[in-house]
Structure 1
């Protein structure tokens, strides 16, 4: 009886996958629309990255079944990339400070 209930819990309706597929299609269309409308600079890249992250999140959550996994497994998969992004942001801020200090105290190379 318990085994039958656990097997039923793993069955996901096809409607869920079709809705996610539709959302992925819409997000991809929005991503192409950013280029089509000719957006430039930070707005363009911000929108493209936002749409990319939304699509990746949908794929990970639904098609890779992460939405139904234990919290520790989610942390084991999602925490390392988040930490890499945090450490990268720290390195970027430090490099900006280093560049500023070099230009200030050693003189800018003209």
Structure 2
């Protein structure tokens, strides 16, 4: 191909793209820059965060002790974190693959921590049995 043919072909492509752009704007197919969520959603989530924080405070106020106390505090903490991640960080509207990429590693870390907790009793028992001073 000669330079003149390439130049004419390039101009034809530019004109076709320019005409298509005008048709798209005329037909109302404009590109939106972002997704808008209703303000009510954010206010409802803010209200739930306030309620969950109040419940977490009431656990201490009523003097709940032991495993129930820590279970309730951790439950309220996880619920608040889930609301924040889902709504304020827009994870609820992301693709499933991206959600898995962000949420799956912390879940796996918790699973491994649980395995280590169960394994720690066995390891402690072995150390007591085999490394205990002889009388």
Name the TM-score class by shorter chain: 0.7 to 0.9
Distance 1:104 1:26, change over 3 A: same
Deviation at 1:105, TM superposition (A): 4.8
Question: What are the equivalent positions in structure 2 for 1:1-110 lying under 5 Å apart?
Answer: 1=29, 3-4=31-32, 7=34, 10-107=35-132
Deviation at 1:99, TM superposition (A): 1.2
Distance 1:62 1:100, change over 3 A: same
Q: Between the two structures, name the one with larger relative contact order (CA 8 Å, sep ≥ 6).
A: 1
Whose radius of gyration is greater, 1 or 2?
A: 2
Gaps of 5+ in 2: 1-28
Q: TM-score of the superposition, structure 2-length normalised? A: 0.71
Distance 1:29 1:39, change over 3 A: same
Q: CA RMSD in A?
A: 2.0
Q: TM-score of the superposition, structure 1-length normalised? A: 0.86
Gaps of 5+ in 1: none
> Between Structure 1 and Structure 2, how many residues are aligned?
106
